[in-house]
Structure 1
Amino acid sequence: MTPAQTTPRASDESGMAHLGQIIAVASGKGGVGKSTVSTNLALALAAQGAAVGLVDADLYGPSVPGMLGIETGNPPMMSPTGKVAPAQAHGIKVISMGMLTDDDRPAILRGPMVSKYLRMFILDVDWGKLDYLILDLPPGTGDTQLTLAQSFPLTGAVVVSTPQDVSLKIARRGIRMMEQVKVPILGIVENMSGFTCPTCGDVTHIFHQGGGAKIAASLGVPFLGAVPLDPAIVDCGDDGRPLVIAYPDTPAAQAYRDIAATLSGRARSMAGMPTPFDWHWAGDASTPGAAPMTDHAGGAAEVPVALARRDGRTLAVLWQDGHDQEIGARDLRLACRCAACVDEMSGRAVLDPMTVPLNIVPTRIWSLGNYAIGISFSDGHSSGIYTFDQLRGMVAAEVEDV
């Protein structure tokens, strides 16, 4: 399903400011140690003093509870607020399908149920006030990745790979998928970068070296760091005491802390429009916007930083590169690409412009992940999704800023 075919879900993003920065940890293939990276990264962020939540989004193969020593098969309690109470381990809050099932009762779910559980894990858990919510995604580019990317305001994604060429090539696909739904790539982590000798502590590169940094450079995304393979990682995972807790002085534990420090700085520097938002056009209280930017050097042309209402029937969009764009309400309505306005097979417009009132105005504008907004209009139409690329493309006839 492409973003343009997705139904707006404004309610999914309501009341999510308490979740802080939402960071997805992804991989193109399995077996690269993504869950180990997610767990140790969450703990390293918590060691910096941050409030951290960890969602084990791999519903079919949950492994996070075992790594943290959380009992499986015992349904979580309900909090006084009526939400699910997350487990707590080593100073972080955790939710996982492994807390609802055990090894003898696997999760057998079709696509719609996967989406339902993912939304529950994020929206119906009593997280409290978080600085970071880490999402440990399953490998690949399927339903889970699309559901999270299109339904929630992800700050960005961390992509985990190993030094082998096959893993790096598949990591490219994961990166490109995230880019298509406008999830910023916070960086690449090269896991199992070398072998740490348990006797002397020296690191020997038994696989290729530097592949993660090279692919990051070729794709123009940051390289967050390399984590050496340490035999203690396996023991720690089996014992429920992650490496950064059990062996904080090892090279791998230090690598996790360095990556966490770099990642926290990158997450804070994301200058896009704060999400989620649900803006009622008639009022200014919920107008989505960031602090005015004075230096636009290096700003992205496709990243909006603020929306505003001008003269009642004009939407103003301030972009990260400093361009201040104005789009008329009727132009927005005529540009709708939903199935009711455009034939999905031929791409031919079926909306009759004569049926669109000259005085039409938006009634609501809401965020859809990090790639689009949804708009409802005074004529009752509300099924359109406007990607940021589409909005920026509507300035084609204007004179660009100089």
Structure 2
Amino acid sequence: MADEELRKKFAAKKPVNFKVDPAEGTHVKKVIGIVSGKGGVGKSFVTAMSACAMNREGFKTAIMDADITGPSIPKMFGVSSVKQVNEQGLIIPASSSKGIDIMSINLLMKNDTDPVIWRGPVIAGVVKQFWSEVCWGDVDYMFVDMPPGTGDVPLTVFQSLPVDGIIVVATPQDLVAMIVDKAVNMAKMMNIPVIGLVENMSYMKCPHCGEMISIFGESGLDSYAASKGIDVLGRLPLDSSYAKLCDNGQAEDIISEDLDQLVYRLKSLMDSEEQ
């Protein structure tokens, strides 16, 4: 068959729609993916802080923990199990002390230290079930904590959920440009808007004099963001008190103004749709 005939044959096929319908009774206005090009950058922490920031603004907020093999969101918020189902047999998500709804594989495990030893397609299927078999109710902002990299789960989320945009998490190391590029380029290939970048572990404050110290060297995030036309949404410090609060399930007690720009952008995203 000639090349031209092949092109016509495949062009005539309808594109496959991978979108999954939400569970009955679920109405989510905005779905925001939190991604990173590699692990160890504090993506789950940024997810938690983003949800807390929007919750404090009075928005109904939820977190879908799609990091199936490394779930940490429940521990940060001090929730341990999901035991309720509604009349339709749909799971009711757990709720934090300040009203953030949470769904994570760890909430369904007998022990939170049990490993999840599943292959990619099974993990991707669970993520879709978190959307289609969990009754989230009315949610203004759902933050999806995705595993690092550009594998099965991020692809599943982008294809299956109505993602309105992603927030990319990075650290100040020199390698950050290449790492961020991977996540940004994947989003572009999937036609998902990049809302902006958050730099975690950006600095620390001297406990004695308050001087800001760049432990990992000077950040190149501003120049990178400018070269890509992407906003920097905030910089989070390396702070041992934050780690202690998260370990104690008190992430909601962390008060920080470092994500003011992120809050502004997300509120603008909501306002633009309502106009």
Deviation at 1:11, TM superposition (A): 4.8
How high is the TM-score relative to the length of structure 2? 0.87
Aligned to 2:257: 254
Q: Structure 1 residue 95 and structure 2 residue 103: aligned?
A: yes
Unpaired runs of 5+ residues, structure 2, are 1-12
User: 1:177-326 counterparts in 2 under 5 A?
Assistant: 177-242=186-251, 245-248=252-255, 253-256=256-259, 258-268=260-270
Aligned to 1:69: 78
**Alpha-carbon distance in structure 1 between the residues aligned to 2:138 and 2:88:** 14
Q: Structure 1 residue 80 and structure 2 residue 87: aligned?
A: yes
Aligned to 2:122: 113
**Alpha-carbon distance in structure 1 between the residues aligned to 2:88 and 2:258:** 38
SS of residue paired to 2:149: coil
**Alpha-carbon distance in structure 1 between the residues aligned to 2:14 and 2:64:** 27
- The percent of aligned pairs where both chains have the same amino acid is 35
SS of residue paired to 1:98: helix
**8 Å contact 1:196–1:202 — kept in the other structure?**
yes
How high is the TM-score relative to the length of structure 1? 0.61
Note closer, same or farther for the CA distance 1:26–1:96 as it changes in structure 2 (3 Å cut): same
User: 1:329-348 counterparts in 2 under 5 A?
Assistant: none
User: 1:170-181 counterparts in 2 under 5 A?
Assistant: 170-181=179-190
User: How many residues were matched structurally?
Assistant: 261
Deviations 1:192-217 (A, max 9, x none): 11012344444211223342222111
Deviation at 1:75, TM superposition (A): 4.7
Note closer, same or farther for the CA distance 1:255–1:5 as it changes in structure 2 (3 Å cut): farther
One-letter identity of the residue aligned with 2:62: G
**8 Å contact 1:43–1:91 — kept in the other structure?**
no
Q: Structure 1 residue 159 and structure 2 residue 161: aligned?
A: no
**Alpha-carbon distance in structure 2 between the residues aligned to 1:19 and 1:216:** 29
Unpaired runs of 5+ residues, structure 1, are 272-289, 292-402
**8 Å contact 1:51–1:129 — kept in the other structure?**
yes
One-letter identity of the residue aligned with 2:84: M
Structure with more of its chain in strand, by fraction: 1
Deviation at 1:27, TM superposition (A): 0.3
Aligned to 1:388: none
If asked which structure has higher relative contact order (CA below 8 Å, sep 6+), I would say 2
Aligned to 1:131: 140
CA RMSD of aligned residues (A): 2.3
**Alpha-carbon distance in structure 2 between the residues aligned to 1:13 and 1:28:** 28
**8 Å contact 1:54–1:136 — kept in the other structure?**
yes
Deviations 1:141-183 (A, max 9, x none): 0000111111121110000000111133211111100110000
Deviation at 1:234, TM superposition (A): 1.1
Note closer, same or farther for the CA distance 1:66–1:228 as it changes in structure 2 (3 Å cut): same
Structure with more of its chain in helix, by fraction: 2
